[in-house]
Amino acid sequence: MDDSITLKGIKEGLLVTVKPDGRWSDLTGRLITLIDGQGSFFRGAQVTLSLGPRELRRHELANVRKQLEERGVILKAVLSDSDATLDAARKLELRTTLHVTELVEEQSEALELRPPPIDPEEYGSPGVMVKRTLRNGRTIHSDGHVVVVGDVNAGAVIVAEGDIIVWGRLRGIVHAGAGGDESAVVCALHLAPTQLRIAGYITISPDDKQRKPRPEKALVRNGRIEAVAWE
């Protein structure tokens, strides 16, 4: 049994304790899987993250908050021994103690009518940017998106859990949504991959050399991969 993440009900909602070792992206992935695995059980829950000495930056916290929000789970507070993490949490207007939580809670309940604040900043999702031609024999793995400014030559391989965007010719092998995300897409100025996979689907390029290349986007639709104009 994996004990890197533990959940515990407390007065303030749900206390999620994440062990201080291991890759953050793996752990958040695990947390999300945990939540998804429970259906709508956690919907509306208020979560306090207890992180120990782990140092996190603002966008990392913002990302996990966004992922939780998408599942109807609200990140309320972050408990940490790291000043950097606490600082990042404060910048995101997250609470950093359980105590004050209660006090502020009452206040905010009194001001219920105020609309939620709009966050003017975007925190984006993780990705890899490659500013050169990927030649035969090169492989890129990413648990986010991959953007290539240049060509992806035959024999090069890209495996991404997110989308793959190629600002150039795509002739290699690509796998978008490698973690199973069927909404992932592959875009290229000239889409002519040796093989293209999205989640569990797989296809090859049609054999129409004569056609003038145009920017295309490949996506899963009606149970198969289709290429449409990329506009």
Partner 1 sequence: MGARVITITSGKGGVGKTTATANLAVALANLGKKVVCIDADIGLRNLDVVMGLENRIVYDLVDVVEGRCKLRQAMIKDKRVPDLYLLPAAQTRDKTAVSPQDMIALANQLRGDYDYILIDSPAGIEWGFRNALAPADEVIIITNPEAPAVRDADRIIGLVEAEGRKIPTSLVINRAKPDMIRRGDMLSVNDVLDILSTPLLGVIPDDEQIIVSSNRGSPLTLDNQKSPASEAIRDIARRITGAKVPIGELERKKGGLFRRLARLFRRSRA
- List contacts with partner 1 (CB under 8 A): 132-138, 151, 153-155, 171, 212
Q: Is 146 strand, coil or helix?
A: strand
Q: Among residues 71 and 190, whose Cβ is nearest to partner 1?
A: 190
Closest contact distance (angstroms) between CB of 209 and partner 1 is: 10
Residue 230's Cβ-side half-sphere holds a number of Cα atoms within 13 Å equal to 20
Closest contact distance (angstroms) between CB of 196 and partner 1 is: 19
Q: Among residues 84 and 129, whose Cβ is nearest to partner 1?
A: 129
Phi first, then psi, for residue 8 (nearest 5°) are -150, 135
Closest contact distance (angstroms) between CB of 131 and partner 1 is: 13
Q: Enumerate residues 6+ apart whose C-beta is below 8 A from 184.
A: 160, 161, 162, 163, 164, 176, 177, 198, 199
Q: Are 149 and 167 in contact (CB under 8 A)?
A: yes
Q: Among residues 107 and 210, whose Cβ is nearest to partner 1?
A: 210
Closest contact distance (angstroms) between CB of 135 and partner 1 is: 3
Q: Among residues 19 and 138, whose Cβ is nearest to partner 1?
A: 138
Q: Is 169 strand, coil or helix?
A: strand
